[in-house]
Structure 1
């Protein structure tokens, strides 16, 4: 049965793998490995209720011997936390994170909404992490900064390009396996792949072109927008790169399109027009030599 399971993985036969996963847990109902592998398949294809139940069972069967194999950590606990977050089963999610060793999630009840710091998330990932994985896609791949609200979900803090199919303050589900790094305050921070979108913010995305503003001016604009819950991103600084380099495997000889460095700065803005107009008017008052050439609604 195990040989057939591996062969189905290698052949990319998701239908056969699903049938074998069900047979595995029936034949070996007390095997952590069987339930964990079956739960991985459910995760890969996005069957979250099934993934929750299979990883819950794997968690119950986890032994000290299994812990040795996985370096003391229980990967089924992490996958249970992800699946529980999707379906909104917060008691199960808290139980999962505590089982993984994250004791701070035991203290309270109800939905998890905790400041877990900033993290980059790859929207619409282009490389699978698991056999048979169905990648979530709403548009083009883009790495954006997010406010992490739990180990498995985050709120988009950047203003994504419209081509990504995402907006500022969308809530996204993300995996726990690092896929490359980005720099934050001089430190490497792991990139996580998006697994799905939990909530859409509906906030419109705009583009503005600005001339004559300094870094301090843009920081002042950012502060004003943040006070109103609006978004700002410096789109002139976006750097396009290939998939391998985006995932951290920098290739020698790869030439990527450099970020723009001309005097006209391209900004991405998020919010409703009246709110943005009011903030921009406040920002420009008392500042001389700055021109906002346009404010165009993108989507």
Structure 2
């Protein structure tokens, strides 16, 4: 049956794989490996209630021999954490992270909202990680920086391009398998693939052309925006990378579309018009020779 299941994987026959997974669980109800593999299939197709149930069963069946095979870690615990986060079952999520060895989630209760640092997340991922995976897609693929709030969810800190179908401060569910790296403060940090969107912020996305501003000027504006809970990104510095570099480490000198190098900066902004205008006026009042043109609502 396991051989048939792998053949179904190779043939991309998700229906047959699902049938065989259920039959395998009936034949081997006390096998950690069977429940874990069935839970992976549920994760791949985005069936979060089933994924939570199957990974919970796998967690209960995890033995010392299984721990040796997985170098001490319990991957079912991580997938249980993802499934329970997707469902908003924070009690189950906390139990899962503790079972994985993340003890800082043990003593608290309620929704998880912990500063887990900054991480890049690939919105609308273009390559599956598992057989039969149904990729979440709301638009074009884009890697954005996020405030990570748990091991499985994050809030978008960048201002995504409208083509991504995402907005500043959307909350996204993400996987735990690294899929490439980006640099932050001189360090390599892992990119994680989006698995779904948990909450939409609804904040409008704008763009503006700014002439005569230095990088320090734009940073000062970004700081003012941040103090008001608004978003700003320098879209003129976006790099359009090939898939190989996007899923690995971006290579300097590789043949990518160059960023804009002239005196005009294209800024992506997020927030309500009245708030944006007030902050921009404050910023311009302390500077001369800067011209903000074409403040345009994109969506």
Superposed, which structure 2 residues align to 1:139-288 within 5 Å? Answer: 139-248=139-248, 254-288=254-288
Classify the secondary structure of the residue corresponding to 1:261. coil
Q: Contact conserved, 1:244 with 1:251, CA < 8 A, in 2?
A: no
Alignment match, 1:61: 61
Classify the secondary structure of the residue corresponding to 1:4. helix
- How far did 1:28 drift? 0.3
2:219 and 2:250 map into 1 onto residues whose CA distance is 31
Q: Contact conserved, 2:8 with 2:16, CA < 8 A, in 1?
A: yes
Alignment match, 2:82: 82
Q: Contact conserved, 1:183 with 1:189, CA < 8 A, in 2?
A: yes
1:243 and 1:293 map into 2 onto residues whose CA distance is 34
Alignment match, 1:51: 51
2:275 and 2:62 map into 1 onto residues whose CA distance is 53
1:281 and 1:71 map into 2 onto residues whose CA distance is 57
TM-score (norm 2): 0.98
Alignment match, 2:4: 4
User: Stretches of 4+ moved more than 6 A in 1?
Assistant: 249-253
TM-score (norm 1): 0.98
Per-residue Cα deviation, 1:106-139 (whole angstroms, up to 9, x for no partner): 0100000000000000000000000000000000
Gaps of 5+ in 2: none
Q: Contact conserved, 1:43 with 1:51, CA < 8 A, in 2?
A: yes
- How far did 1:251 drift? 8.0
1:177 and 1:224 map into 2 onto residues whose CA distance is 35
Q: Contact conserved, 1:14 with 1:132, CA < 8 A, in 2?
A: yes
Per-residue Cα deviation, 1:250-286 (whole angstroms, up to 9, x for no partner): 6899511011111100100000111101110111013
The answer to whether the aligner puts 1:118 opposite 2:140 as a matched pair is no
1:42 and 1:65 map into 2 onto residues whose CA distance is 24
2:252 and 2:187 map into 1 onto residues whose CA distance is 23
Classify the secondary structure of the residue corresponding to 1:179. coil
Q: Contact conserved, 1:125 with 1:135, CA < 8 A, in 2?
A: yes
Classify the secondary structure of the residue corresponding to 2:25. helix
> What is the RMSD computed on CA atoms of the aligned residues?
1.2
1:144 and 1:252 map into 2 onto residues whose CA distance is 19
1:268 and 1:252 map into 2 onto residues whose CA distance is 25
Gaps of 5+ in 1: none
- How far did 1:215 drift? 2.0
Q: Contact conserved, 1:207 with 1:267, CA < 8 A, in 2?
A: yes
2:266 and 2:252 map into 1 onto residues whose CA distance is 30
2:58 and 2:274 map into 1 onto residues whose CA distance is 52
Classify the secondary structure of the residue corresponding to 2:257. coil
1:244 and 1:218 map into 2 onto residues whose CA distance is 31
How many residue pairs get aligned? The number is 299
Classify the secondary structure of the residue corresponding to 2:169. coil
Q: Contact conserved, 1:148 with 1:154, CA < 8 A, in 2?
A: yes
Alignment match, 1:127: 127
